[in-house]
């Protein structure tokens, strides 16, 4: 009997949503489990790092890594799994682009820790204790991974073969990727495993997207009762569809919410946020500097809107921090 291909899953700086996306394959997950031998999946199975270390290099057919890379342990695991795997897939927006954890690149690590452990309204920490890398408790030494100053994408740490986009990738895209891996019908190395079209091209509202728009105000979805049929951009709501890769079948727009850009750019766009910014800027219905300032000033969180998932992968990458 031919041995089944070995598959691994790993999570780095992740919310767990990408793990749930695998389970969301529903009954198809049984087909996957029947076709492969899952040799490492810390979220679901009790394999340890030393089990992976004991495997022969290149013995895992494919490893799917979700989450961005923020800690020393995540970087070590990325290198280890790269060595053990013939194919390494960056799974989901955080792994591909940096994702939501990548917005921490707007701050330095000390501020992130202070907010999380001292100043956030839900924190109770009267002594202001912060996580320690090395602690001795009851005669036992405990260690924590180190935090890097900058959140990185998986391919900023190690060589990546394919990218599965989305926050999280849809079951349809995951199933197609697994099928391609099992049959060897893979595209060129470095490909994003989703259609190379802008989301607008597969959006049911595209017929109502005007060729030319002049907006006197950008609105947040909470500020307007949205027509469920009309292009959201035409209604003044910032929709990232024109700057975002399709493949998710415009799930958010189907729910009457704008695209927030989780599938990243198409192959023709280097910087998703810059592409969106140039598109949105061309919609401003004024040539007067003060009026332009008023209209664009209404965008509550420009970085969080334009680079919500892709700051570490962007040309900007991070905000500069003072080095003491």
Task: Enumerate binding residues for ligand SF4 (CB under 6 A).
Answer: 14-15, 17-18, 66-67, 92-94, 99-100, 167-168, 199-200, 203, 205-206, 209, 231-233, 239, 241-242, 250, 253, 259
A 10 A CB-CB count for 179 gives 14
Rounded least distance, CB 7 to ligand SF4, Å: 18
Residue with smaller CB distance to ligand SF4, 85 or 95: 95
Query: Is 99 or 247 the residue whose CB approaches ligand SF4 more closely?
Result: 99
How many angstroms separate the CA atoms of 73 and 42, rounded? 14
Cβ closer to ligand SF4: 80 or 100? 100
Q: How far is the CB of 195 from ligand SF4 (least distance, A)?
A: 14
Tell which phi-psi region holds residue 247, choosing left (phi > 0), alpha (psi between -120 and 50) or beta. left
Q: Is the Cβ–Cβ distance between 238 and 306 less than 8 Å?
A: no
- In the complex with ligand SF4, the residue whose CB is nearer, 55 or 273, is 273
Q: How far is the CB of 56 from ligand SF4 (least distance, A)?
A: 29
CB of 271 to ligand SF4, least distance (A): 19
Shortest distance, CB of residue 292 to ligand SF4, whole angstroms? 21
CB of 200 to ligand SF4, least distance (A): 3
Based on CB atoms, which residue is closest to ligand SF4, 40 or 309? 309
Nearest-approach distance from CB 228 to ligand SF4, in angstroms: 11
Measured from the CB atom, the residue of 80 and 283 that comes closer to ligand SF4 is: 283
* 60 or 250: CB nearest ligand SF4: 250
């Amino acid at each position: 009997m031919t041995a089944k291909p070995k598959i691994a899953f790993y999570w780095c700086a992740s919310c767990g949503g990408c793990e749930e996306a695998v389970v969301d394959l529903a009954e198809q997950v049984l087909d996957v489990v029947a076709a492969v031998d899952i040799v490492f999946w810390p979220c679901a199975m009790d394999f340890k790092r030393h089990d992976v270390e004991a495997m022969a290099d290149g013995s895992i057919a494919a490893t799917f890594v979700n989450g961005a890379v923020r800690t020393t342990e995540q970087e070590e695991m990325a290198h280890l799994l790269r060595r053990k795997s013939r194919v390494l897939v960056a799974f989901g927006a955080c792994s591909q682009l940096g994702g939501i954890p990548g917005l921490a690149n707007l701050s330095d690590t000390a501020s992130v820790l202070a907010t999380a452990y001292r100043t956030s309204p839900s924190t109770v920490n009267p002594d202001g204790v912060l996580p320690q890398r090395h602690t001795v408790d009851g005669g036992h030494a405990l260690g924590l991974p180190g935090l890097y100053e900058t959140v990185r994408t998986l391919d900023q740490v190690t060589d990546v073969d394919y990218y599965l986009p989305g926050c999280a990738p849809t079951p349809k895209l995951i199933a197609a990727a697994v099928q391609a891996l099992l049959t060897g019908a893979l595209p060129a190395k470095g490909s994003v495993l989703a259609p190379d079209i802008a989301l607008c091209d597969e959006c049911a509202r595209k017929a109502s997207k005007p060729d030319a728009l002049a907006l006197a105000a950008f609105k947040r979805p909470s500020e307007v009762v949205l027509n469920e049929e009309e292009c959201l951009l035409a209604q003044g709501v910032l929709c990232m569809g024109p700057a975002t890769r399709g493949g998710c079948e415009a799930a958010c727009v189907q729910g009457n919410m704008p695209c927030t850009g989780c599938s990243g750019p198409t192959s023709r766009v280097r910087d998703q946020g810059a592409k969106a910014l140039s598109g949105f800027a061309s919609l401003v219905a004024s040539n007067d500097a003060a009026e332009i300032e008023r209209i664009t000033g209404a965008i509550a969180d420009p970085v969080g809107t334009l680079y919500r998932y892709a700051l570490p992968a962007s040309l900007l990458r991070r905000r500069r921090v003072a080095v003491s």
